[in-house]
């Protein structure tokens, strides 16, 4: 199986992530609405997650394809530095980050409150689908990822140039792409390695 096909194994997880993220809003909105005692607030708390879920199902597919394509392109441009599982998880997290408005954090810092759980849910659902459906041994990342030749540097430069050219087509696109990418990379790395550490500690505690 080609590496691109392996990475896409986790793609259906973005739809599950949209459902989980949308309906998890009930855990926050319903208690607040019931505490207020206002019927209108209660009705909004019930209807809003359903509307958000329907909207999420409509937009998560196209955005997910773009995000998975971006991660796959990044991986190939930099010499296949990511394993198939890591790339799939990263793409799922990027989809959750973009769908919850994370790239707009430079103008609306509150978006980070929504983007953090969106990233985590996207990562978890993509990882779940990948682990359950990957039949063969997935492709591993290049261990000497810090070594680059001239061809790889030219590919990486071209990739970044295309991304910046596309960003200039939308208002404030360079800011959205630049700051949003920086925030997402930091968030992605933190949540990914925190999840790996938690899993390692959980397995260690079970084995004792």
Higher-scoring residue by pLDDT: 106, 60: 60
Q: In angstroms, rounded to a whole number, what is the distance separating the alpha carbons of residues 3 and 138?
A: 8
pLDDT band for 145, please (50, 70, 90 cuts). low
- C-alpha 157/C-alpha 174 separation (Å) is 16
Q: What is the mean pLDDT of residues 79-98?
A: 88
Mean pLDDT over each residue of the chain, to the nearest integer: 79
CA dist 63 and 99 (Å) reads 7
What per-residue confidence (pLDDT) applies to 77? 78
Residues in the chain: 208
Give the global pTM: 0.80
DSSP 132: H
pLDDT tens for 38-73 read 656 666 666 767 777 787 788 898 999 999 998 998
> Which residue would you say has higher pLDDT here, 32 or 112?
112
Could you give the count of Cα atoms lying within 13 Å of 77 in the half-sphere of its Cβ? 17
Q: Give the alpha-carbon dihedral of 31, 33, 35, 36, to 10 degrees.
A: 170
Which of the residue ranges 100-109, 110-119, 133-142 has the most confident prediction, judged by mean pLDDT?
110-119
């Amino acid at each position: 199986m080609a590496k691109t096909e392996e990475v896409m194994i986790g793609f259906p997880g973005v739809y599950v992530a949209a459902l989980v993220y949308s309906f998890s809003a009930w855990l926050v909105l319903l208690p607040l609405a019931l505490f207020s005692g206002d019927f209108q607030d209660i009705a909004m708390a019930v209807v809003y997650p359903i509307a958000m879920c329907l909207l999420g199902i409509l937009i998560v597919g196209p955005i997910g394809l773009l995000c998975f394509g971006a991660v796959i392109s990044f991986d190939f441009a930099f010499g296949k530095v990511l394993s198939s599982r890591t790339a799939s998880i990263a793409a799922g997290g990027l989809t959750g980050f973009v769908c919850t408005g994370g790239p707009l954090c430079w103008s609306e810092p509150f978006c980070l409150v929504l983007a953090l759980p969106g990233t985590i849910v996207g990562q978890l659902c993509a990882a779940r689908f990948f682990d359950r459906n990957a039949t063969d041994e997935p492709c591993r990342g290049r261990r000497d990822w810090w070594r680059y030749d001239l061809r790889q540097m030219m590919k990486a430069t071209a990739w970044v140039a295309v991304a910046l050219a596309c960003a200039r087509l939308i208002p404030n696109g360079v800011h959205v792409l630049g700051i949003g990418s920086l925030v997402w990379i930091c968030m992605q790395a933190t949540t990914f390695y925190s999840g790996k550490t938690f899993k390692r500690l959980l397995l260690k505690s079970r084995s004792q």
